Amino acid sequence: MTRLLPLEQRLHSHTDEDALLHRLRRLPRRVQQVFLLSRLEQLPFAAIAERLDLSVHAVERHMHQALQGTQARSDSFASAAGHWYMRLQNPQVSASERIDFRRWLDAADEHLQAFHQTELHWRRLLAPARQLGQDGWYRQGQAALSLGGCSIAVGLGLAALLAMAYWV
């Protein structure tokens, strides 16, 4: 294994953060919003669900989508670990589900390694999340539409008006 010098480590870390930020930006806007409310505001799933008029299950799904969508590789172990990581964040997780998780974790060394990698990945997402949410757009509740989506709607509206004017 090659050993990186401190400057090389910082450059490598910066490149990793840029890649994670790029992956976060590629996620659907609502997924980004749920993720940022959880990660930056540290809101529990129930509070996010109430704020955005979603079910707690939908919040959990969005969080899992954010986690999976930002990972460089996705295999069955990583996917299962991501599912368990988000499920355990949900206050509605039952005691029997916690037992099932423990059984899954103990079933194979690969499960433990995948879960550990998921935890490390989650920590690495904080800096890119801060960049993505720096202007606070995600706090706007229901109004989390992308500018691109608004531009398309405005463009279609103008096209419809022009078409109506043409036919009149």
> Quick one: average pLDDT of 115-120?
95
% residues pLDDT > 90 (the chain):
67
**Comparing 9-18, 39-48, 114-123, which segment has the lowest mean pLDDT?**
9-18
pLDDT confidence bin for 12, thresholds 50/70/90: very low
pLDDT confidence bin for 88, thresholds 50/70/90: very high
> Quick one: average pLDDT of 42-52?
95
- What is the C-alpha separation between 1 and 94, in angstroms, rounded? 43
* CB count in 10 Å sphere of residue 81: 26
Residues 22-31: tens digit of each pLDDT:
999 999 999 9
- Compute φ and ψ for 114, nearest 5 degrees: -65, -40
Q: Which are the contacts of 60, defined by CB distance < 8 A and separation ≥ 6? A: 45, 86, 87, 89, 90
> Quick one: average pLDDT of 103-132?
95
Instruction: List, as one string, the DSSP characters of 102-126.
Output: HHHHHH-HHHHHHHHHHHHHHHHTH
- Compute φ and ψ for 2, nearest 5 degrees: -80, 145
Give how far Cα 53 sits from Cα of 42, 49, 59, 66, 74, Å.
18, 6, 10, 19, 30
User: Identity (one letter) of the amino acid at 149?
Assistant: G
User: Both ends of the chain: CA-CA distance in Å?
Assistant: 73
